[in-house]
Structures are given as C-alpha cells and as structure tokens.
Chain A
Amino acid sequence: MIDVLIVGGGGAGLRAAVAVAETDPALKVAVVSKVYPMRSHTVSAEGGAAGVIAPGDTLDEHCYDTISGGDWLCDQDAVEAFVAEAPKELIQLEHWGCPWSRESDGRVAVRPFGGMKKMRTWYAADKTGFHLLHTLFQTTLKYQDIIRYDEWYVTKLLVDDGRVHGVVATEIRTGRIETIPARTVILATGGCGRVFPFTTNAAVKTGDGMALAYREGAPLKDMEFVQYHPTGLPFTGILITEAARAEGGWLINKDGYRYLQDYDLGKPTPTPRLRSMELGPRDRLSQAFVHEQRQGRTVDTPYGPVVYLDLRHLGEAKIDARIPFVRELCRSYQNLDPATDLIPVRPVVHYMMGGVHTDLHGATPIAGLYAAGETACVSINGANRLGSNSLPEILVFGRRAGIAAAAFAKEHREAEPPAVRSQGEDERRRLERAREGGRPRNGRGERIADLRERMQHTLEGAAGIYRTGDVLAKAVDTLAELRERAEEARMEDSSTAFNTELINLLELRSMLEIAQTIAACALNREESRGAHQRTDFSARDDAAFLAHSLVHRAPDGTPSVGLLPVTITRWPPGERVYGRD
C-alpha cells in the first residue's frame, strides 16, 4: 500500500514527493507520470519565479500586486501564506543547486515582471522552468525510496464513501492495467491549455487531474479564468517570455506605435517602468490586442493577426545575456533574429487560473485527495495570474500538499474497503473495451483529432478573450454533444504496446469534461473581471460576483455551477491601477 501517491512528475509533484520523503522516510511515496518527469511542462517556463528578497521590497507589496493583479478574486489568506513561503522555497531550490542568475557579488539576481511593483523575479536566464525542473528531478534521485511509475497514465481515482483509496493506471509501454492502492493521492498534472486550439502548452497538458477529481465528485473552481499570454509566436504558439518586455522590449502595432498607452496602462518611457505599459498585467495586454485588431491596427498573417514585439534597441549583448532562449526560439522556429528583426506575436492560451478546489494545504473535499500547482485552485491567482507567480506556487503548494498528505497517511492506517477492488475491475474492463475499439473491424466513428479540433474551436469561439452569453450557452450544448460522440470515436490501434491512440482518446474525454466546465462557469458569471470579459456584462460586479465559481458534475454528467465567497483579509476590493501613479 502506497502512503502518498502523486499523479504528475512536474514541479508541484516532485516538490511534494521530496516533502513527503523529508517528513518521514518510512512513508512509501510514489510518483506516477505519463511522461518521464523531466519532460513535464514545468520545463517550458521561461521568465522567472517571484519571491521577496531584494532590499526595499516587502511581503505586503507582493500580496497587493498579486491581489490587484487577480482583480480581487484571490483568497487573501492563501496569498499571504504563499508570499511568505515563496522566498524560502526559492532559496531551497538554490540550496539544491538551481543555477539562478547572479549579481556580481554572488547574490541571486532579480528582474522586473508584469504587474509587479518591485523587482522580485528570480531567474535562470530565460529558462527558469527548465532549470527548476531538472534541479528538482535530479534532487529526487537522491531519495532512492521514491517509487517512480514513469510513462504510466492514471485513468481513474478509486473513491469510496467520500475517501480516496488509490488509482487505476495503465503502463503505456505494455498496456498493463493496474489498481494501485494508496492512502492518499496528490493530483499535480498541470493545466489544460490543450482544450484550446492555440496554446503555449505542451501536448501533455490535457487536464487529466482536473477531470479525475471532477468525475469523482470533487468540485472545480474558477474554471472560466483562462489566461491569454500576450506574446506567442503566430504558428507554433511558442511563448516569448514576459522577461523580453521586462528587459525593455516594446509592443508596437502596424504603425510602429506603442499602442498600450491608449489603454490606460501609462505613458511610454524609453526604459521599462514597473506596473506600467509593457509591464502591465497579461489580461489587460491581451485585451488591448483585440481592440487594436478591431481598429485595423494589427498585421494579417497566414496564422492570424499579429502585433510586433520590438527588442532591436536592446542590442545583441543584452539579448544574449538576459534572454538567449528568446533569440534561439526566434531563429529556430520563426526564422528571424530579434537583434535585427521585429517579432510577430499574438495572444495565446497559456494558463488556467482555475482548477481543483482546495484549501490552503491542498486538501480537496474528498478525504485523502490533494491537488497542487496549475491543476489546483487554492486560490492565489484569482481572475488573472501575474507572471512569475506560478513557479513559486508549484513549490509552496507542492510542499504543503506533500506535508498534509503525509500527515493524513500516518493517521489513517485502515485497510481499503472491498468496493475499491470491484471499482478497479470495472475500470479495467472499460479500458480494455476502449482499446478493443481499435480492432480492424472497427473503422467507423469520427477521428479523435477531428473531435479534438471541433472542441478547441468551439471553446475558442465562445470562451476566448471576450465572451457573450448566447454563444457560451450554445457552446455548453455543443460540448455535451461532442462528449457523446467521443464515446464512439474511431480507434485504429488495438495493440497493447505504447498505444498512444488510446491515451489520446482518454485525454480527449478528459478535455471535453473540462471544456464544458469552462463554458458553464463563463456563462454563469454575468460580470467582467480579470481574464473573464463579457461583452454583455462589461463591468465588475462585486455585489453579485465577488465570489469563486464552484462547479460540480451532476449525476447526468452536466456541470452544475454555484458560488463560494472570496476570503478578504486586509485588502478590500478596489480599482486596478496601472501606469497612473
């Protein structure tokens, strides 16, 4: 029997694993991941990780930036805990060997970032997530008792009488299906950017953990809050980090004009000003793009309208020193050199503020079930996450979930109930049937890729940067219908060894569940706040909606949305002010 079973081997999952191992070496901890841990999407994070360390910065200022950045939808007790623990976690990573960029005297260096009033973003050039993940993964190798299930895909949580008892998972390499009993489970599977057609997210980001929890009755929270990052490369969706603007990059429209000055984000200055212009929050910058487009001031390309990110004035030396990966990505994937050329960019789906509803310790309403990182919604990100808050979030809450799960596992030593075995057997039969669909006699049904694309376009059309009620209502129905069609999807591969088609089908079914919750929550929230902008309800409405959306799966499979109050401690709701002071 595993004491703590962690689903997902990215930053949150690995941090949780080490926390369990350090809490009590006698506990059995396992990490189940559908990819080798160092392939997890944490690897793609670029710009940095926020934590108060510089002289003149304070925890309260980091709190305020986060809360105002989140348009007052953050739970302020969670933000206070997060901000207080973030610096310790970043120092912990330093002690484990993370190659943070340094000042000349050897101290860790910090850089500006969007929506942050002080310089507090730690960075490892512009590959912060890569270094953080590899440092964490390599450090976990020191704990030889951590059991790894690499390239195993979890298909179901075993839940009986409101308590989790393990998972059913399939080993991708062999097709073997196993019930893995566990006293506690931590979901750390990342976000679900792949429900949209144009995203910075890796192929693995299919919302598996959110769907696993949701199917067993755990509610998801604030699913309508989807972050569009303002600067993605047009064809690939590859992210050009906010650090490019923090180092002094400008956003210009087709006339070469720094258009953000027209959107209440401050006046253009030659060098960056904190919480102003290009260093405004992501939701506001992506919204400004849409207005520029409507006014015909973007440039059309085969892959949609773009504006330009101008880094030319930074010069080659600074680009190579501070944002070398930006240059490498532009050269390899866009065939241009940012030292001499403009970079075409457009808003791209990047991050889910919402996720599995948890408390400050990662606990969900299902006993023994925890969630951390982008999979979870504590919530510290509210209606819009600030850049460089997500890396410290996976560390702080990965650790907290690990400690909480370890304590739960030590207190609950009873054997698993018999119902769990039969659930496991049912799940095995279901998976075998799904795979059998790949026998040659089958060849009917729609292609997985076609259904996926239909889902992605439905969601983008309805739950993009601007939304309206009637389109959302239609999307909820379309997605329900697609969910049924996905049950009959065509399978061409019935083999057991490394059957990625089966995994793609299961991922599609998870994504459809999640897509429906996004549309349903967006439909229910009749106001505009942060990343959720309704053209039919264009103002923030604190009287009715200073509250989290909480969505449960009804017995018939449809999402049922309610509201949960926001925790306010010291920062009463106010106006979000950028560039005006």
Chain B
Amino acid sequence: MTDTTQAVRQAAGTRTIRMEVARYRPGQDAEPVFQGYDVPLMSDWAVLDGLNHIKDQLDGSLSYRWSCRMGVCGSCGMTVNGEARLTCGTFLSEYGDGPVRVEPLKGFPIIRDLVVDIDGFLAKLSSVRPWLIREGEDLPLTAEYAQTPEQLEAYKQYSMCINCLLCYSACPVYVLDPDFLGPAAIALAQRYNLDSRDMGDRFDVLNQEDAVWGCTFVGECTKVCPKHVDPAEAIQRYKLTAALRSVLPWSRR
C-alpha cells in the first residue's frame, strides 16, 4: 500500500463510508458485537484498506489476518455484507453509500474479532495425502517426469486453490457438519489423483459419508471461489470414480 495517510490527506473532505465491524474478545465479550467506524470512501480502496485505516488510525485493537493484498496468500477471507469474500479484492465502492458490514468467515470458531480457527482445515488437508504418491524407484535428480500440456491441463485448475476457505464458509453441508471433508480438501485430493505422475487414488479418505458422499451438490463452493477452481465438479467426478471402484475394485480413477 502506498502512502495511505497522504492519500487520505489529499482526499480530505471526500465522502466517508460506514464500516460495521464484528468485534469479539474471548473472556470479555459474551458474543460478537458490531462496532461502527467511518472511513474515507476512496475510489480504489478495498475493504481491507478500510480495515487497515481503522487499525492504523482509529482503533489499534482490531484484529484480522492479511498479508499479500494481491489475492494469492489466502489470508484475508471474511464475510462482507453477508457474502464470503477476499477483502483485498472487494472494493468499498461496490457498497455505494454503505454501510459495509464485515464479519468473520461463517462456519469456523471465532478466535478474536475477524480471526477464525482454521486448524480443522489444516488437519483435513493433511488427511488427503496432498503429495505425489509414487511406487517403485524414483528417477534420479537429472531428469524430470514427462508431462504433456494436456496432462497438466487435466489437474491444473485444482492446483490453483489458495486455501482461503471461502468455499467452506459458503458450503451448507460444512456449516452444519464441521467433520465434512469439504470442497478445498477434496479438490486438492483430485489435484493429485488427476496428475499423470501420481499413482494413488486416496479412495480410503474420499469414499466416506463425511467426504464425497456428504456433498449435496449445491455448488456454492464453486460460485464463491475467487480463483475459479471448481470444487463441486471435483467432488462429482470422484463420486463416479468411487462408484466405479466399488464395482470394479482394481480400477483406478
């Protein structure tokens, strides 16, 4: 971010927009409450810029996560006016006269203010064995495994997930059942399953009631994904794979 204060000074007298931000301090607040702040309505400010303005100039006690502010680190997912969004890529100007209501991602335990507990997701990520599974001798480190552009294309979109968790927050199954393996973890399993270099199929993890069979195919995950991954498709494809494998146990993928 360049010269925030300077930009604000230049814009002195410009309009402001009301941000209503969910506050929750464990041990202090019985439940989240909203606190209102007026921030400058700058044409190129994202919701995250508004939060940073609050933190820097109005209230140092507000807590939230952010880092790259270019939509790739996946830290700044929050609920903005009811929708799961990356706040670095959601602009204040979208909300006209305001107010802009910022809450933590739904479906996760709240740690503090806008910060949620994502350790459950990290455990799910590990459970799908998101690494290349090989059998037999590896090639020496002088040669790569060949993979044509078409073979790359077969899994590429599933490799674009930034783990921002908007898909979990939007998923009606996950919000009711925190044990549901969920869109991003299943899409990642498919990212490896469909990779021509991978020899696993992760059947034991995926062919479960709270894994692919838990999905009711609402498709909200795909709609909210800021990176155009299609987890809903990943899940449906694996249902077919799993069904085939149940009938023909030796088949793969």
Contacts and interface: CB of A to CB of B under 8 A. Distances in A.
A571 interface: no
| A-side interface mostly | loop
Interface in B59-109: 59-61, 63-75, 89
Contact of A203 (B2, B67, B152, B155): B67
A150 interface: yes
B63 A499 contact: yes
A96 B57 contact: no
A203 B66 contact: yes
A105 B150 CA distance: 10
Contacts of B57: 447, 449
Contact of B75 (A35, A101, A141): A35
B60 A202 contact: no
A97 B25 contact: no
A99 interface: yes
A295 interface: no
B142 to A, nearest CB: 7
A105 B132 contact: no
Contacts of A15: none
A204 B67 contact: yes
B26 A94 contact: no
Interface string B188-203: 1000100101100000
Contact of A96 (B10, B89, B131): B131
Contacts of A91: 141-144
Given A302-B7, A447-B56, A88 B25 contact: no
Contacts, number: 181
Interface stretch (A131-139, A162-170, A515-523, A547-555): A131-139
B115 interface: yes
Interface stretch (A426-434, A463-471, A485-493): A485-493
Given A35-B67, A238-B70, A498-B112, A303 B2 contact: yes
Contact of A498 (B60, B63, B138): B63
A150 B117 CA distance: 12
A141 B73 contact: no
B214 interface: no
A570 to B, nearest CB: 24
A142 to B, nearest CB: 5
A333 interface: yes
B11 to A, nearest CB: 9
Nearest to A304: B2
A101 B151 CA distance: 11
B69 to A, nearest CB: 7
Contacts of B148: 102, 104-106
Given A104-B148, A141-B126, A236-B1, A43 B73 contact: yes
A156 to B, nearest CB: 23
B67 A99 contact: no
A500 interface: yes
A507 to B, nearest CB: 12
* Residue of A88, A95, A100, A237 ringed by the most chain B CB atoms within 10 A: A95
Contact of B73 (A39, A138, A150, A328): A39
Nearest to B113: A498
A249 B7 CA distance: 30
Interface in B15-70: 25-28, 44, 55-57, 59-61, 63-70
B122 A150 contact: yes
B130 A94 contact: no
Interface in B116-147: 118-119, 122, 125-126, 129-132, 138-139, 141-147
B2 A493 contact: no
A497 B192 contact: no
A107 B130 contact: no
A64 interface: no
B70 A198 contact: no
B72 A43 contact: yes
Contacts of B115: 498
A415 B132 CA distance: 39
B2 A198 contact: yes
A173 B63 CA distance: 11
A239 B188 CA distance: 27
A39 B138 contact: no
Contacts of B60: 447-448, 490-493, 501
B162 interface: yes
A302 B10 contact: yes
A8 interface: no
B208 interface: no
A303 B3 contact: yes
B149 A198 contact: no
Contacts of B151: 106
Nearest to B48: A203
B5 interface: yes
Given A138-B131, A497-B26, A202 B69 contact: yes
A239 B69 CA distance: 11
B61 A501 contact: yes
Interface in B190-248: 192, 195, 197-198
Contacts of B145: 94-95
B1 A97 contact: no
Contacts of A447: 56-57, 60
A326 to B, nearest CB: 11
Interface of A: 35-36, 38-41, 43-44, 88, 91-92, 94-97, 99-108, 127, 130-131, 134, 138-139, 141-142, 144, 150, 173, 197-198, 202-204, 234-239, 302-304, 328-329, 332-333, 438, 447-450, 453, 490-493, 495, 497-501
26 contacts: A39-B67, A43-B73, A44-B70, A88-B141, A91-B143, A95-B132, A97-B198, A103-B149, A105-B148, A141-B125, A142-B131, A150-B119, A198-B3, A203-B67, A236-B69, A237-B2, A238-B70, A302-B7, A304-B2, A438-B61, A449-B55, A450-B5, A492-B59, A492-B61, A495-B28, A498-B63
Nearest 5 pairs between A and B by C-beta? A106-B146, A449-B56, A492-B60, A498-B112, A493-B61
